[in-house]
Structure 1
Amino acid sequence: MTPLQSYIAGRWIGQQPAQALRSAIDGSVVAHTHAEAIDFAEALAYARSVGLPALAKTDFQQRAAMLKALAKYLGERKEELYALSFHTGATRADGWVDIEGGSGTLFAYASMAKELPQSGNLWPEGPQIPLGKTGAYAGTHVLVPRGGVAVHINAFNFPVWGLLEKFGPTFLAGMPCIGKPASATSFLTEKLVRLINDAAILPEGALQLVIGGTGDLLDRVQEQDVVTFTGSADTAAKLRSTPNLVRRSIPFNAEADSLNCAVLAPDVTPDDEEFDLFVKEVAREMTQKAGQKCTAIRRALVPADRIDAVAARLKERLAKTTVGDPRLDSVRMGALASQAQQADVAERVTTLRQGAEVVFGGGEGFAPVGDGIAEGAYFQPTLLLAQDAAHHAAHDVEAFGPVSTLMAYQGLDEALALAARGKGSLAGTLVTKDAATAVKAITAMAATHGRLQVLDRAAAPESTGHGSALPYLKHGGPGRAGGGEELGGLRAVKHLMQRAAVQGSPAMLAAVTGEGAA
């Protein structure tokens, strides 16, 4: 079996197999990583000497047109990606989020470019600010390409979207990219990059692919480069402290798994439509992608007098969730990405069960559907009920799978305090009918959350859901969530450019920026 290959310096590298990558469905070998070491000095030099000059010959609008063409090309070949996506454990619906969500993000960034300059690579951030008494001297701000390389290190759960949601704004900003997917699902990312290369739409050197480890890559990046990471908080902390990154003050953007919460407000009763919306939201976040989303609801906060009703309805809904081979139409939840992930989730659930009641799950009677799947990485949806909400391990320990913990609270103030115990989250949901409750809760929760959803019956018909990271809204959060920002519309492009203040006469500034003098 020919191993997966890295795409480095304009050529595919890798002939000798190394690590076996197994199907999440049945444990069979899908691919191998390659044993050959990558010359990261060559990869960076190629990005600087070939990728940067090629991108410098294009402007914002030309790059946007390429993104649009690439998105269309990938959309026409999505079935090739879906065929491999099943082996990551994803159902067709899960794959849609990853595959079509990825190309959709490229379409979105191509569309956003209408707000960018119509020519050139200087993005004015006016207005001009007078700096003297007579108006003869002023200042303004501009954004320009950094002149460096972006290194994007991704997690295993979104092997297509994970690369494309970073690549889109990076390419629009005029930076060549080196993408490194997590090994477990890198066979899908490699297929994606082969399709991108076959399209022959991008300038040479715009995108390189690393299969396997990063070696000494982070020791070789320079001041004008950028490093981004998606994955665990522990790995983010380790990479962030790489001496070369610290010494050179290289921007490091982290988006880390976090202990996100959903809050059922005290004004919602079991008879309200919002009550069922809360139950559906928690159940969906537990089972979509088998709970392997950095935004998934890990803590469900419920008024103490309604905790039994919520537990009963969630148990009923989870019992109807068919788990098994994701290729089967009847299956609603597939497998975890790997057996290693299966073991990790099981270990963390053991910790979470201390001081908690098992509402649903626990492994008893669990029988995934499908033929020949005994070696698959399946895990039963598991719902726990914390006996002491304020001190339960769910505020510190994350089982990155179909696992959530119910927590009872007395009064909204206690709920807000519990929400903050996550020490920084990517996403949170508040289910309420009351505007005053929303004002109080969102004002408090926004300090520790990157994105918040207020869900009621009015929003429900068009709600994109608690866990959906949208290209137009910020993705990232403080503290444990990594302290970084991705997406957020054109904010993501700005993060990848260099901002400079420029001073001079109003006429000269107008000439530089292409905007009229103040």
Structure 2
Amino acid sequence: MSAAPTLQSFIAGRWIGQHGAQALRSALDGHVLAYSHEERPDFAEAVDFARVQGLKQLLAMDFQQRAARLKALALYLAERKEQLYALSHHSGATRADSWIDIEGGNATLFAYSSMGRRELPSGNLVHEGPAIPLGKQGHFAGSHILVPRAGVAVHINAFNFPIWGMLEKFAPTFLAGMPCIVKPATSTSYLTEAVVRLMNESGLLPAGSLQLVIGSTGDLLERLQGQDVVTFTGSADTAAKLRVTPNLIRNSVPFNAEADSLNCAILGPDVSPDCEEFELYIKEVAREMTTKAGQKCTAIRRAIVPARHIDAVATRLRERLRKVVVGDPSVEGVRMGALASHDQQRDVTERVRQLLATCEQLLGASDGFTPVGDGVAEGAFFAPTLLLARDPHAEGGAHDIEAFGPVSTLMAYDDLDEALALAARGKG
């Protein structure tokens, strides 16, 4: 096996990074896929390049031209998607899981291209709404005019969608004429780097419109100004820490966080085990637990069901989850792959341990969990895990602790008001 490559940052039009630092391992068998780089990018240079070259190049085009570039970029990536599927496999993703990330990311490029071509004018100015009178005599009036921000967008993304997560933010930023600096989660940054390389090779990106940071953001946030923006996807804890960066507060830099929420699915009080809706409920909870090994912001973390049906739901869910074949997605019949990294495997294990302080386990690794495939013993696999809250109203537990994997907690309710109160405890 050849030596693992060192990933590189794309800063000021050149690729930076020669010396390996953190090892990034395959979620399937643990072998080293790549290394992050040791060198620290010059973030002053990155921001200046975006402000000068990026803005100049982007605003030399108008909405219509940038929309056309997005469509061309989507077509270019679509023709090369199989190499992304091959790499995505190492994140533990099945073909269906990777489809969400790869095809979903491309779909956002197409969607924003279409939106730009249909809804935005030529030029770089949008007149929003009619003139509004501001005085009784009609001597004064006002109207909103929107123009591109003369700043830089910093996108800090999560590990679970390294392609789609980047492209869904890049597309509207590019359309709006704003250069961006992307910082993917390190554990799956090998996928983001592969996409950025393809985007750069396409020749469709104006200089400075997209830069990539592998590893730490260093002092990047300290170099931003009031016309810049920061977007973040990830944990609520990390969002809270970044939001109070002194420079962001001092310069009132807009900070938008898409943090985790503990989603739920409520089985209606009028649904009995012999109803079609009951089977749909079981199927959906199991699907959300196992798609991308439960590593989705939309995954169902709490299954809230009528107390009189709690045993029936538990039985049917256990039956369905036991049939899920977990292992290397290249093996025929495998329906669920690994968690995206060994760090996530450790994190989910710890979160389940915390949940067991207020829950009992109905299904988990102790129920004969054996992933299939070669080398899987060194992989980041995790068993589908079903818990039951002893007291759904207790503090903490599944209302506050998220095991970001194939884990869901059953909760019983007596009436719909109680179900809605439990749902609201998940916040977000």
**TM-score normalised by structure 1 residue count:** 0.81
**Alpha-carbon contact 2:44-2:220 (below 8 Å) kept:** yes
Secondary structure of the structure 2 residue equivalent to 1:297: coil
Secondary structure of the structure 1 residue equivalent to 2:129: coil
Q: How many angstroms does 1:353 deviate by?
A: 1.4
| Cα deviations by residue, 1:253-310 (Å, 9 ceiling, x for unpaired) | 0011111111111121212211111111111110011011122110110010111111
Q: 2:260 aligns with which of 248, 257, 261?
A: 257
Q: How many angstroms does 1:354 deviate by?
A: 2.0
Distance 1:367 1:147 in 2: 54
Distance 1:271 1:379 in 2: 32
**1:169 aligned to 2:157?**
no
* Cα-Cα RMSD: 1.0
Distance 1:117 1:287 in 2: 40
Secondary structure of the structure 2 residue equivalent to 1:90: coil
Output aligned runs, 1:61-210, within 5 Å.
61-210=64-213
Q: 1:35 aligns with which of 31, 35, 38?
A: 38
Aligned AA (1:414): E
Q: 1:420 aligns with which of 401, 404, 424?
A: 424
Output aligned runs, 1:442-481, within 5 Å.
none
Distance 1:378 1:122 in 2: 50
The range that moved more, 208-217 or 257-266, is 257-266
**1:4 aligned to 2:28?**
no
Q: How many angstroms does 1:115 deviate by?
A: 4.1
**Alpha-carbon contact 1:261-1:301 (below 8 Å) kept:** yes
Q: How many angstroms does 1:221 deviate by?
A: 0.7
Corresponding residue number in structure 1 for 2:400:
396
The range that moved more, 66-75 or 272-281, is 272-281
**Alpha-carbon contact 1:47-1:205 (below 8 Å) kept:** yes
**Alpha-carbon contact 1:102-1:160 (below 8 Å) kept:** yes
Distance 1:123 1:329 in 2: 52
**Alpha-carbon contact 2:64-2:121 (below 8 Å) kept:** yes
| Cα deviations by residue, 1:473-501 (Å, 9 ceiling, x for unpaired) | xxxxxxxxxxxxxxxxxxxxxxxxxxxxx
Corresponding residue number in structure 2 for 1:406:
410
Corresponding residue number in structure 2 for 1:239:
242
Corresponding residue number in structure 2 for 1:333:
336
Corresponding residue number in structure 2 for 1:18:
21
Secondary structure of the structure 2 residue equivalent to 1:389: coil
Distance 1:117 1:330 in 2: 47
| Cα deviations by residue, 1:24-49 (Å, 9 ceiling, x for unpaired) | 00000000001111100000000011
**Alpha-carbon contact 2:68-2:117 (below 8 Å) kept:** no
Q: How many angstroms does 1:338 deviate by?
A: 1.1
Aligned AA (1:34): H
Aligned AA (1:49): V
Corresponding residue number in structure 2 for 1:359:
362
Corresponding residue number in structure 1 for 2:387:
384
Aligned AA (2:311): D
Aligned AA (1:287): T
**Alpha-carbon contact 1:116-1:123 (below 8 Å) kept:** no
**Alpha-carbon contact 1:60-1:116 (below 8 Å) kept:** no
Secondary structure of the structure 2 residue equivalent to 1:141: strand
Number of aligned positions between the proteins = 424
Distance 1:147 1:246 in 2: 19
**Alpha-carbon contact 1:336-1:378 (below 8 Å) kept:** yes
Corresponding residue number in structure 1 for 2:61:
58
**Alpha-carbon contact 1:23-1:338 (below 8 Å) kept:** yes
Distance 1:405 1:362 in 2: 15
Distance 1:208 1:336 in 2: 28
Corresponding residue number in structure 2 for 1:310:
313
Q: How many angstroms does 1:339 deviate by?
A: 1.1
Secondary structure of the structure 1 residue equivalent to 2:147: strand
| Cα deviations by residue, 1:104-148 (Å, 9 ceiling, x for unpaired) | 111011111134332111111112111233434211112111100
**Alpha-carbon contact 1:257-1:295 (below 8 Å) kept:** no
Distance 1:364 1:405 in 2: 17
Q: How many angstroms does 1:365 deviate by?
A: 1.7
Distance 1:38 1:121 in 2: 32
The share of aligned pairs that are identical, in percent, is 71
Distance 2:135 2:244 in 1: 43
